[in-house]
Amino acid sequence: MSLHKEQSYSPLRWQRQATRRMQLQMVPMIDVVFLLLIFFLLSANFRSKEGFLPAELPRQIVHGRQMEMEPLLLRVTSQADGGCRIQIGPQPAILIEPQAETFDALSRKLQTVLSDQGRRLDDPIKILPTEHTKWDHVVKTYDAIWQINAHTIIFAAVQ
């Protein structure tokens, strides 16, 4: 009987028991993996692909730039109804409806004014918004000018 007891505590059997206990716990690992997955899904910030309009700023926007040619002034004002009013130089103002998606009317008018005044496309054009003009209207005006390949555009500083 004592011999049998000794056999049951043999080092070989003890080693086998220890090996059996070494198991990979899958449940907590799956917990962690799901936690990570949910974290990544929730923390991911989806952003649609944005476009960019290249712009060039003068060295000192405050004092303006010394120009050889007087820039063509575009006065941009946002209306209370969401529309936009743009005046090219002394010309009568163009009214852009709030529903209008593009400022194509401005591009067409600007081309006519430039050719009438004998201006070249590299001559400066100055956007003069008011302090309360919506940034959306300023960018769309800039886009309309850029579309006719006039790339010397200045943002006027307002007080």
Interface residues toward another protein, by CB under 8 A: 26, 29-30, 33-34, 36-37, 40-41, 44-62, 101-102, 129-136, 138-140, 142-143, 146-147, 155, 157-158
- Residues β-bridged to residue 94: 86
Calculate the CA 120 to chain-centre distance: 31
Closer residue to another protein, CB minimum distance, 13 or 29:
29
Closer residue to another protein, CB minimum distance, 5 or 132:
132
Closer residue to another protein, CB minimum distance, 9 or 135:
135
Burial of 106 (0-12, 13-18, 19+ CB in 10 A): buried
The answer to whether the beta carbons of residues 87 and 93 sit under 8 Å apart is yes
- Residues β-bridged to residue 85: 77, 95
Minimum Å gap between C-beta 124 and another protein is: 15
Minimum Å gap between C-beta 65 and another protein is: 11
Minimum Å gap between C-beta 89 and another protein is: 20
Half-sphere CA count of 55, side-chain side, radius 13 A? 19
Closer residue to another protein, CB minimum distance, 22 or 62:
62
Calculate the CA 38 to chain-centre distance: 27
Minimum Å gap between C-beta 120 and another protein is: 19
